[in-house]
């Protein structure tokens, strides 16, 4: 409805207090509340969503269709569709995206690279501070 695609369900969780050493490949949705040392990538067959919560840390490449960050990522981030940066997001690495939503307080230490979308310019949406 209103041109929005249905989001894939979050089916996997890396809980707070959990540390994963190694690369992860997931399908549909993944939420990280703990720590991952390695790459986190969505399988390319289906739409995907990755949520990196406020308490989470990822050291490695992050890649999914829809990426929501409110924690820390040390490595490049690639959002094939939408990248949402919440107020406590911290990214140390280059970022590529088709559409970007960035809240006040989010920090990126790296280059921003919009993905080519034919003749269209990439969508950049500035989020209002509602606090």
Structure tokens at 105: 């307080």
Buried b (16+ CB within 10 A) or exposed e, 54-77: ebbbbbbbbbbbbbbbbbbbebbb
Phi, psi of 6 (to 5 degrees): -65, 135
Mean pLDDT of 115-129: 60
Rg value, the chain, Cα: 14
pLDDT digits (tens, 9 = 90+) for 38-85: 999 999 788 999 999 999 999 999 999 999 999 999 999 999 999 999
Beta bridge partners of 120: 117
Mean pLDDT of 105-116: 94
Q: CB atoms < 10 A from the CB of 22, how many?
A: 9
Give the DSSP letter string of 20-35: EES-EEESSEEEESSE
Beta bridge partners of 41: 25, 63
Mean pLDDT of 88-116: 95
Predicted local distance difference test score (pLDDT) of residue 4: 57
């Amino acid at each position: 409805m209103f041109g929005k695609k249905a989001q894939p369900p979050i089916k996997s969780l890396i809980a707070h207090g959990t540390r994963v050493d190694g690369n992860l490949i997931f399908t549909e949705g993944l939420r990280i509340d703990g720590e991952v040392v390695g790459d986190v990538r969505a399988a390319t067959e289906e739409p995907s969503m990755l949520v990196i919560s406020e308490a989470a840390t990822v050291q490695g490449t992050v890649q999914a269709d829809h990426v929501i960050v409110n924690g820390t990522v040390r490595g490049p981030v690639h959002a094939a569709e939408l990248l949402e940066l919440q107020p406590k997001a911290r990214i140390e690495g280059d970022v590529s995206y088709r559409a970007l939503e960035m809240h006040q307080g989010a920090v990126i230490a790296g280059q921003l690279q919009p993905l080519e979308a034919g003749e269209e310019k990439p969508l950049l949406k500035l989020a209002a501070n509602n606090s």
